[in-house]
Amino acid sequence: MRVLIVDDEGLARERLAQLVSDLGGHQVVGAARDGEDALQQVAELKPDVVLMDIRMPGMDGLQAAAQLNGGEADAPRVIFVTAYGDHALEAFDLQAADYLLKPVNRERLAAALERAARDQAAQRLEVSAQPAPHVLCRRRGDLHLIPLERSRYFEAEQKYVTAVHDDGEDLIDDSLRQLEDRFPSLLLRIHRKALVCRDRIEGLEKDINGRHMLVLRDSGERLEVSRRHLPEVRRVLRELGS
C-alpha cells in the first residue's frame, strides 16, 4: 500500500518510515508535520493509508482524521500512532483502522497495515457492487433492466411512459414524476410529457415555426421544450457548457 506518515517529530517520522520499509510490500509516499499538511498531501499523493500522530501543533490528528472520514468514498484508512492511550475511544469513533502506541512494535504495525488493506478492499468491493442506475421494463411478460446510461429520453402518452434508448423503445411502469424523483441529477424535465437524460443533451435551437427544440447528442433527435421549462433548460445548458 501507499503510506503517508504524519508526525510533528522528524525522528518519529524516520523511524516509522524505516519500519514500513523493513516490512516490505508497502511504499512510503510522503511525510507530513501536522494535520493541515496531511490533508494537503492526501489530496496530492492519494495514499491508501495514513499513519497519524494525534498530538500535534495546529490541526491535530483527530481533527484531520475527522475531515478525511467525511470526505470521498476512496479516502485512505487511518492508523493512529501515538504515545498516549487516552484517545482510543475518539479514534475508533472516527472509524480508525487501528490504534498503535509508541514505540511501535514491528509485528503490531504489520497487523495494522494488513487490517487497513482488508478494510480498504472491502470498501472498494462494496462501492463497485452498487448497481448502475436503471429503469425496469416488461418485454413479452419478462422483466428487463434498461441502464440509464443507454437511455435518451422518457415520454408520457395517456397512461403509459415510453423509454427511448439506444436499443429501441420500451414501456415502463414508472411515471415521469417517479423517474424525476429517483434521478434528479440525471434527468431534465423539458415538457410536462417528457424527461431527457442530461448527458444526451447537445444543444437548443428553434424550428421554422419558432418552437424551441432540444437537440440530442448521437441520435440528432429534436424534442420540443415548453415555455414553462425553457428557463431551466437554458440554465442546464449553460452549466453543461461551463
H or E segment and range at residue 100: strand 98-101
153 lies in the same domain as 55: no
116 lies in the same domain as 232: no
Q: d(Cα 18, Cα 8) in Å, to the nearest integer?
A: 17
How many CB atoms are closer than 10 A to CB 164? 21
- CATH number of residue 62's parent domain: 3.40.50.2300
195 lies in the same domain as 106: no
**Nearest Cα to 182, choosing from 154, 208, 210, 162?**
154
Tens digit of each residue's pLDDT, the chain (242 residues): 899 999 999 999 999 999 999 998 899 999 999 999 999 999 999 999 999 999 999 999 999 999 887 546 578 999 999 988 788 778 777 888 889 999 999 999 999 999 888 887 777 665 555 567 888 887 776 778 889 999 999 999 988 999 999 989 999 988 999 999 999 999 999 999 999 999 999 999 999 999 999 999 888 899 999 999 999 999 999 888 76
The pLDDT assigned to 120 comes to: 77
The pLDDT assigned to 73 comes to: 59
Q: Which domain holds residue 114?
A: 2-128
Q: d(Cα 30, Cα 19) in Å, to the nearest integer?
A: 14
8 lies in the same domain as 112: yes
Residue ending a domain, among 96, 128, 160, is: 128
Nearby residues of 236 by Cβ (< 8 Å), 6 or more positions away: 188, 198, 201
pTM of model > 0.85:
no
161 lies in the same domain as 218: yes
Q: d(Cα 60, Cα 78) in Å, to the nearest integer?
A: 13
How many residues in the chain? 242
51 lies in the same domain as 117: yes
59 lies in the same domain as 138: no
Residue 90 region by backbone torsions, left for phi larger than 0, else alpha for psi between -120 and 50, else beta: alpha
Q: Total domain count for the chain?
A: 2
The pLDDT assigned to 181 comes to: 92
Helix (H, G, I), strand (E, B) or coil at 89: helix
